[in-house]
Chains A and B, each alone.
Chain A
Amino acid sequence: MNSSRLLLLGAEAVAQGAIDAGLSGVYAYPGTPSTEITEYIQRSREARSLGIRSSWSSNEKTAYEAALGMSYAGKRSLVCMKHVGLNVAADAFINSAITGVNGGLVLAVADDPSMHSSQNEQDSRVYGRFAMVPVLEPSSQQELYDAMRDAFALSESVKLPVVVRMTTRLSHSRAGIERRKAVAQNPLHAEYAPERFVLMPHNARRQYQHLLDLQPQLETLSASSFLNRTIDGSGPLGVVAFGIGYNYVMEARRMHGIGCRVLKVGHYPPPRAMIDELFAVCESVLVVEEGYPVYEELFRGYFGSPKIRGRMDGALPRTGELTTDLVASALGVTPPETTAVPEIVINRPPELCRACGHRDLFEALNLVMGEHAEHHLFSDIGCYTLSALSPFNAIHTCVDMGASITMAKGAADAGLRPAVCVIGDSTFAHSGMTGLLDAVNDRSPVTVIIADNDTTAMTGGQCSSASGAKLERICRGLGVEEAHIRVIIPLKQHLQENIAVLREEIAYDGVSVVIARRECIEAAARKKRRATAKGE
């Protein structure tokens, strides 16, 4: 190839950027659209030769804490998750801003506006403000790559964790990346600093004050960041474009010959002097944010300002990801006439794969649950969530990782019978075990079905922290009676015996676990392809 550029997804640019910034370890739980960061490091020969640790964590909280531990020991660590994963890791994240860090600690978090593959579109920049730490929000793949080095250096200079926020569109879009010379890893260097790291009240108060005192410095630093800059222009309307909002503004500007002033912001806290300058020369200001109107709301203030346009006054939609068309319309461009989608086009929603074991499980489960006049099936997050759709229409809840077991328990405590839930092996390892312990301790009559396909399938087949015989041992260890830990194989030819087992355990007045075990067919096919490739 003529070009030395690497063609990378935004997520992969984060990974390569971290490797080239002297990374020693990455910690993560898979979650769309963040999964590809860790996968890239796992596949990278370079990362392997550098000894960068990269296997999956059980959940985002364990991942964050391990990353903090690596930072405590003086090395640079990266922790990656999707936006809702940060809810799970929030305790560790917020408190790591109070302790501060030693080696550079970067949290790469990928938000999913428009909820392509998520249950909400929460904006991680709010968490950044909540923790009072710097947040970087690059607008291109190259900026993501370059920002990783700055993020680690910034983290070590201010001794705080630094957040790199991106959204689906950038994480899952490819572009050519120019690499820079790599820097070496930090040596092992753990310091005794109990006055920072032992967060008893007397230390925590001092550390919190220190965090507050740092804030003016953080603002000064963002004024000189390469991610913040002004694009010259004229006219009464100015634009503050955050993150990839900048891309759509610049595209619309070029397409429609609009010459407005633009302030690009990709490093928070936002550079106050640059914002003041724009507001001083513009009659009105359009605030373009990919996510919640976080800064638009701040700029407006409680009493509002007619000068400000954005998601809160309808110039842009309140929800969903931005596009060039939406931004162009907010800049006053009349939408183009387009060809309509013919009426015969029907939706094509996702579905469980043909021959997937979950199909056989839900076929059996629907028959057994149907024997009860009222039946509620609590479920969780994974491929099996697709059983909510036709033809199964099997599940009635899916809220957050692990909630199937605990919601079934609470409903059982309220008197609901039967109380049955379905959770995947990886989700059980992530957040199901503690809920099962609660059910055992309370002797709540619940039946927990663990759909064990030996992988984290929905995100593309990552290694599960607990599957196979380990699951039986965990359930036994948590106190589930041996006689009520049953294993079934979800295959057509076992339908009748599977129905019998499910019926028995659902009828049991105590905690029972049915493990429906069959390997994910996609994972099996991948294994086979790899084996064939090796054989050749």
Chain B
Amino acid sequence: MEKNIILAGVGGQGILSIAAVIDWAALDAGLRVRQAEVHGMSQRGGAVQSHLRISDRELFADLIALGTADLILSVEPLESLRYLPWLSPEGHVVTSTDPFVNVEGYPPVARIIKALCSAVQPLLVPAEQLAREAGSARASNMVMLGAAAPFTGIEPERLETGIEALFGAKGAQIVEINIRAFRKGLTLSNANQTTS
């Protein structure tokens, strides 16, 4: 079992908390983990990405090779396009449809989705809406993790334990909201897989 996952977003959107949950769950499952992240200048509102690799055998490189990512999980639609060269022919793209507009010339979301759909069959997630339904717009990350969960190679239950471990210090209510958000994403993903 080996999974190469690219997490994409904008500095400050918190893709690293998604990574932290997957890392935790992967280690808990006795797997090996490599997770490269971006620190420094780009964190100030620039495009950021994390290469996350999990495997049951020794991993060498911290970076994913071109054309070998099993999953691109993007918390922002434009950013889901930026890393397509890394996607394997059998790979999946799961992206939020909520744009983060902080640059001039940001293309209309409809054009972004069209470009994405002409390249791959993405799973589109209205993350913020689902997160609000779960109790807080700030939990949209966990909606995205839930939607991507079936492609991570890790059982959803174990990821939920990871969420508990990560958010535990912030109190039971925060944990509950994030678990609810995760399940909303997961439900959407499962429904999508049965219909497609």
- The interface of chain A, by Cβ under 8 A from chain B, is 1-3, 5, 7, 9, 32-33, 35-36, 116-117, 169-170, 172-176, 244, 246-248, 250-252, 254-255, 323-325, 328, 335-342, 344-353, 383, 386, 390, 458-460, 533, 536
Contacts and interface: CB of A to CB of B under 8 A. Distances in A.
A346 B105 CA distance: 8
A173 B27 CA distance: 15
Interface in B30-63: 30, 32-47, 51, 59-63
Given A33-B39, A350-B11, A340 B84 contact: yes
B153 interface: no
B85 interface: yes
Contacts of B39: 32-33, 35-36, 117, 172, 460
A33 B78 CA distance: 27
B50 to A, nearest CB: 9
Contact of B102 (A348, A383, A458): A348
Contacts of A459: 40
B23 interface: yes
Contact of A342 (B33, B34, B119): B119
A174 B165 CA distance: 18
B35 A173 contact: yes
A172 B30 CA distance: 22
A2 B103 CA distance: 44
Given A176-B27, A344-B115, A324 B33 contact: no
A339 B65 contact: no
**Interface-central residue, A9, A336, A386, by most chain B CB under 10 Å:** A336
A170 B62 contact: yes
A345 B67 contact: no
Contact of A338 (B36, B82, B84): B84
Given A32-B39, A350-B44, A169 B24 contact: no
A34 to B, nearest CB: 10
Contacts of B63: 169, 248, 323-324
B46 A348 contact: yes
Nearest to B16: A174
A255 B41 contact: no
B65 A325 contact: yes
Contact of A172 (B28, B36, B47, B115): B36
A173 B82 contact: no
A338 B66 contact: yes
A247 B61 CA distance: 5
A379 to B, nearest CB: 15
Nearest to B171: A536
B10 interface: yes
B81 A341 contact: yes
Given A248-B60, A324-B61, A345-B82, A169 B36 contact: yes
Dominant SS among interface residues on chain B: mixed
A438 to B, nearest CB: 29
Contacts of A117: 39-42
B151 interface: no
Give 7 closest A-B pairs by Cβ, nearest first. A117-B40, A32-B40, A350-B46, A173-B62, A173-B36, A342-B115, A350-B44
Contacts of B119: 339, 342
A1 to B, nearest CB: 5
Contacts of B170: 533
A456 to B, nearest CB: 12
15 contacts: A2-B29, A7-B23, A35-B39, A173-B51, A173-B62, A174-B23, A340-B84, A340-B85, A341-B82, A341-B85, A342-B84, A342-B119, A350-B41, A351-B102, A458-B41
B7 to A, nearest CB: 13
A335 B67 CA distance: 9
**Interface-central residue, A36, A338, A533, by most chain B CB under 10 Å:** A338
A361 B99 CA distance: 29
Given A116-B41, A339-B87, A169 B62 contact: yes
A342 B93 CA distance: 15
B85 A344 contact: no
B118 to A, nearest CB: 8
A246 B61 CA distance: 9
B107 A386 contact: no
Contacts of A9: 37
Contacts of B30: 2-3
A352 to B, nearest CB: 7
Contacts of B24: 1, 7
Contacts of A324: 61, 63, 65
